[in-house]
């Protein structure tokens, strides 16, 4: 870990500071390392609260107990060139006019700042939700979900009454977007065998997916939604749509129509919002607190600060909509930010960001999935293999950029 005081004083004129070592931030740092080879005087600092990068897209597997948490944590020091100074600390705020990032290890001065702090679960101010549900946004979160499922199965096995057994052995997932669908599918696949190992009768364990809107995977093609719905049904997942949660209580999810959804484990996967510290920062924010940027991914009216990933509110000029919080988007934005910071160093003009949509792939269970690629919808084993290939390719790209050997899943 680097002593932040060393990077906070004096020479901030040549300092590029990247806050957040997730999909966007790590890739900005890695790509800038290569681009700035001819500029040894320019400092490059990466800041994150963890000393590892998390492969978040693989978290549903950790939550389903099929992958170890450590297998989705990539040690940052192993993938960064010595050129990059890594500071493991909490970012606590911003001194925008003084051009300093405020951190637990002291202020860090910057010439250019890249904000890539990601997002956090959005509970939409639903009473009890934050307190009574687990989330899946880090390897530790996902590990906790699987631990909670195992504990609930143990409790169910100790219960005498079949109704109580059934309730305890039911996992309720709130939010039918890609994360909720992946999680529900993964759990539905592994739960019967896990329940059997706990001595529970067949059919005791269950997964319920609760979605406020009229459909799961909102915004996807009807064909994709249909295929995903069929696979979930085949896996025994009970899907409730138009089922808005009014409150999370000790008894379970209380829906707006009064129905009570009971279970032993409750997981919330209903959406994300920007980290709390951004709200009071003075940075211009839009929907869900994401930071508004221009077409070069620079903060509006603060062109020395770039934003990439979930934190950035980037309007796609072709659709007029803000791009969704996806790893695919974060990586592409990271590339543009790295190119634009390099362009500034080289005295060249910046390039506008354009999103090249490679398609949408969602795993549904451990061996099937759905995909929409180039207008063609597929469902089944091929789509799952595609998801595996994307994840493999991502790990390869990280390895390629520095030469790191991934931990086998």
Contacting ligand FAD (CB under 6 A), which of 22, 109, 175, 369? Answer: 22
Query: Which of 161, 17, 82 shows the shortest CA–CA distance to 7?
Result: 17
Q: Which is nearer to ligand FAD, 300 or 326 (CB)?
A: 326
User: Greatest CA span in the chain, whole angstroms?
Assistant: 73
Q: Map tokens 């994300």 to a residue.
A: 272
> What is the end-to-end Cα distance of the chain in Å, rounded?
27
Q: Which 217-236 positions form the footprint of ligand FAD (CB under 6 A)? A: none
Tell whether residue 372 is a contact of ligand FAD (CB under 6 A): no
Stretch of residues binding ligand FAD (CB under 6 A), selected from 219-227, 295-303, 325-333, 347-355:
325-333
**Residue 366: which residues within 8 A CB-CB, separation 6 or more?**
64, 66, 185, 186, 189, 190, 384
Q: Which 73-102 positions form the footprint of ligand FAD (CB under 6 A)? A: 90-91
Contacting ligand FAD (CB under 6 A), which of 28, 42, 84, 136? Answer: 136
SS3 state of residue 147? helix
**Backbone phi, psi, residue 318, to 5°:** -75, -30
Tell whether residue 144 is a contact of ligand FAD (CB under 6 A): no
Tell whether residue 37 is a contact of ligand FAD (CB under 6 A): no
Contacting ligand FAD (CB under 6 A), which of 20, 107, 109, 174? Answer: 20
Q: State in angstroms the smallest separation of the CB of 367 from ligand FAD.
A: 16
Token duo for residue 145: 């979900």
Counting residues that bind ligand FAD (by CB under 6 A) gives: 31
Query: 360-363 and 170-174 as β-strands: parallel, antiparallel, unpaired?
Result: unpaired
Q: Which is nearer to ligand FAD, 262 or 388 (CB)?
A: 388
| Eight-class DSSP state of 13 | G
Distance CA 225, CA 116 (A): 31
Q: State in angstroms the smallest separation of the CB of 76 from ligand FAD.
A: 9
Q: Map tokens 């100790």 to a residue.
A: 158
What is the x/- site pattern for ligand FAD, positions 300-319, by CB under 6 A?
A: ---------xxx--------
What is the x/- site pattern for ligand FAD, positions 97-116, by CB under 6 A?
A: -------------------x
Distance CA 326, CA 240 (A): 25
Q: Which is nearer to ligand FAD, 109 or 167 (CB)?
A: 109
**Residue 376: which residues within 8 A CB-CB, separation 6 or more?**
none
Tell whether residue 21 is a contact of ligand FAD (CB under 6 A): yes
Contacting ligand FAD (CB under 6 A), which of 4, 17, 24, 171? Answer: 24
Q: Give the count of beta carbons closer than 10 Å to the beta carbon of residue 114.
A: 27
Contacting ligand FAD (CB under 6 A), which of 325, 350, 365, 379? Answer: 325
Q: Which is nearer to ligand FAD, 315 or 326 (CB)?
A: 326
Distance CA 282, CA 12 (A): 21
Beta bridge pairs of residue 135: 268
Q: State in angstroms the smallest separation of the CB of 199 from ligand FAD.
A: 30
User: CB-based burial of residue 376 (10 Å sphere; 0-12 exposed, 13-18 middle, 19+ buried)?
Assistant: exposed
Token duo for residue 326: 């996806």
Q: Which 48-67 positions form the footprint of ligand FAD (CB under 6 A)? A: 48-50, 56-57, 59-60
Residues near ligand FAD (CB under 6 A): 20-25, 48-50, 56-57, 59-60, 90-91, 116-118, 136-137, 179, 275, 277, 309-311, 325-328, 330
């Amino acid at each position: 870990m680097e002593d932040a005081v060393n990077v906070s004083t004096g020479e901030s004129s040549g300092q590029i500071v990247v806050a957040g070592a997730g999909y966007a931030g790590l890739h900005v740092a890695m790509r800038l390392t290569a681009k700035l080879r001819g500029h040894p005087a320019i400092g490059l600092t990466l800041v994150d609260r963890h000393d590892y990068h998390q492969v978040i897209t693989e978290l549903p597997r950790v939550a389903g107990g099929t992958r170890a948490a450590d297998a989705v944590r990539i040690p940052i020091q192993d993938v960064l060139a010595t050129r990059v100074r890594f500071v493991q600390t909490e970012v606590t705020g911003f001194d925008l006019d003084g051009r300093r990032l405020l951190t637990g290890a002291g202020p860090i001065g910057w010439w250019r700042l890249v904000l890539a702090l990601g997002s956090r679960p959005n509970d939409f101010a639903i009473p009890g939700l934050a307190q009574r549900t687990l989330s899946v946004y880090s390897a530790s979160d996902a590990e906790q979900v699987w631990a909670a499922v195992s504990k609930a199965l143990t409790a169910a096995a100790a219960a005498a009454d079949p109704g109580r057994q059934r309730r305890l052995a039911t996992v309720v997932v709130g939010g039918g977007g890609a994360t909720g669908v992946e999680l529900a599918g993964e759990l539905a696949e592994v739960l019967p065998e896990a329940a059997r190992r706990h001595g529970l009768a067949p059919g005791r364990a269950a997964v319920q997916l609760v979605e406020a809107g009229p459909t799961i995977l909102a915004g996807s093609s009807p064909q994709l939604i249909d295929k995903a719905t069929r696979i979930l049904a085949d896996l025994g997942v009970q899907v409730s749509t138009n089922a808005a949660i009014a409150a999370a209580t000790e008894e379970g999810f209380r829906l707006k129509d009064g129905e009570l959804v009971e279970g032993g484990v409750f997981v919330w996967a209903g959406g994300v919002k920007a980290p709390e510290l951004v709200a009071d920062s003075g940075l211009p924010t839009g929907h869900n607190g994401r930071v508004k940027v221009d077409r070069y991914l620079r903060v509006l009216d603060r062109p020395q600060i770039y934003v990439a990933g979930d934190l950035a509110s980037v309007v796609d000029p072709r659709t007029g909509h803000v791009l969704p919080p996806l790893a695919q988007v974060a990586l592409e934005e990271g590339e543009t930010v790295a190119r634009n910071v390099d362009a500034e160093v080289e005295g060249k003009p910046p390039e506008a960001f354009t999103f090249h949509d490679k398609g949408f792939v969602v795993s549904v269970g451990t061996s099937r999935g759905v995909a929409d690629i180039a207008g063609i919808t597929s469902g089944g084993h091929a789509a799952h293999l595609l998801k595996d290939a994307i994840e493999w390719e991502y790990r390869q790209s990280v390895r390629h950029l520095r030469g790191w050997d991934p931990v086998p899943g």
